[in-house]
Copies of this chain bind each other. A is one copy, B any other.
Amino acid sequence: MAAKTGKSGSAKTKIKDLKAEIRKLKRKAAKLRKKLKAGAAPAAPDVSPLAPAGGFPPLPSIAGVALSATAAGVRYADRTDVMLARLSPGTSMAGVFTKSATRSAAVLDCEAKIAGLAGKGAGKGGFAILVNSGNSNAFTGAAGAAAVQAVTSGAAKALDVPVRHVFTASTGVIGEPLPVEKVTGAIADLKAGLGAGGLEDAARAIMTTDTYPKGASAELEIGGAPIRIAGIAKGSGMIAPDMATMLVFIFTDAKIEQPVLQSMLSNLTGPTFNAITVDGDTSTSDTLLLAATGKADMAAITSARSAAGRAFAAALRGVMEDLAKQVVRDGEGATKFIEVAVTGATSPTAARKVALAIANSPLVKTAAAGEDPNWGRIVMAVGKSGAPVDRDALTIRLGDILVAEKGWVAESYREADGAAYMQRDEIRIGVDLGLGKAGYTAWTCDLTHQYIAINADYRS
């Protein structure tokens, strides 16, 4: 490096110039960083920033439930993608499924099997649930039904469970044939691996675009006997449940007659899995199964209205709501968890319409992503909902901040307060319609660049 320094004076000048250049470069970098922050899609996080702290929760083993997971290579490399649950004889089984008119072959098969259980008492041969990720086996015509037949009868044979008691669920790409042999070929492995616990492995095996496995549990006592409930879920996009959502499997050792179990599950789906939305799109594969093994030392619950029935339903609802919220927290590209609480509606249906109109509005969700307290977009969403609304009776809150009332911005509202509130990870939009007594709470997430990045390049 040829030094050009002639005398001390010109060195001084040189140093001065270089320092000026450094300042200029630093300004340029700061500008680029600002630009990057403002306009760019951030690199996809490995795990949703909204994932529950502490990772997968410790879940209890459920007596009468054996689980297993393995890698069958359905679509993904180097990860587990099939799970098996075996439920002991005496188990009651309930299920709720997507109402999509193009639901998958597996869903159609599950529906028929749950319908066949009604009023028959606990199954004597026990049950099995076999699930794969990576391929949804939806819109796969006659081949789809044949695949379900092959997979369920393979599991029935291996586990010595009647085929009418074997449920299957598939999640992943729509319209591609399920590689049946990969799934049936994994059954021996899955059977060998069956054991107590294993819920976290099972939760991992059913993930698709999920960034973390989802689990929740509850414990209660009924007549002095400890009862456990534990469940797992998968779901991240195509979330706008029209009954259940995504895949959810819940296990309990409680002793409950099948019709009671089924009615509890159906009723509790409304305020839990049906109250969440990520993108307003409804999966073809939504499957929610609840197995009660009856292993707990208790008298069977024969009515949802009994004290035991009510106590169990409350605990079950807690697990379902927890799992539902975890799905929203893993919403594709989510950076904000948003609760939309509607009160003062003329009917529960009206309250739900308003809550989902807000929760599904791209303009509300992008405003949240931009941390913009743009409450005018909430007004817009309320207006388009189709529910009975009186503009001048409407009250809007962000958290505890009163934003608008009586048809206009509240006198006490300061934009700076709203802006500060919107910087939180968890946002609560409160809308009181001021017309009646009905309410509904929905949960959703924001709509970000990452949602676009994930979905504009998911398959091809």
Supply 25 A–B pairs (Cβ within 8 Å), ascending by A: A3-B12, A11-B12, A18-B22, A21-B22, A22-B22, A22-B25, A38-B457, A40-B40, A101-B382, A101-B387, A101-B388, A101-B389, A102-B383, A139-B376, A139-B408, A139-B409, A142-B407, A175-B404, A176-B409, A238-B380, A282-B383, A362-B447, A362-B451, A370-B458, A371-B460
Cβ of A374 under 8 Å from chain B? yes
Residues of A269-286 contacting chain B, CB below 8 A = 279-284
Question: Which A residues are within 8 Å of any B CB, using their own CB?
Answer: 1, 3, 5, 7-8, 11-12, 14-16, 18-19, 21-22, 25-26, 28-29, 32-33, 35-36, 38-43, 100-103, 136, 138-144, 173-176, 237-238, 240, 242, 279-284, 360-363, 366-367, 369-377, 379-385, 387-392, 394, 404, 406-409, 419, 447-449, 451-453, 455-460
Cα-based distance from A406 to B175 in the complex (angstroms): 12
User: Do residues B280 and A173 form an inter-chain contact, with CB atoms below 8 A?
Assistant: no
Which B residues lie within 8 Å of A457 (CB)? Answer: 38, 370, 372
Residues of B within 8 A of A237 (CB): 363
Chain B positions within 8 Å of A382 at CB level: 101-102
Closest to A406 in B: B141
User: How far in angstroms is the closest Cβ of chain B from A96?
Assistant: 16
How often does this chain occur in the complex, in copies? Answer: 2
Determine whether the beta carbon of A366 is less than 8 Å from that of B101. Answer: no
Known pairs A173-B376, A449-B453 / 17 extra A-B pairs, C-beta < 8 Å = A5-B12, A8-B8, A25-B26, A100-B380, A101-B387, A101-B391, A102-B383, A140-B408, A141-B407, A143-B408, A174-B380, A238-B363, A280-B362, A366-B455, A367-B459, A371-B460, A451-B452
CA–CA, A5 to B455, complex, Å?
54
Contacts of A38 in B (CB 8 A): 457
Nearest to A281 among chain B residues (CB) is B363
> What's the least CB distance linking A374 to chain B, in Å?
5
Contacts of A36 in B (CB 8 A): 32, 35-36, 39-40
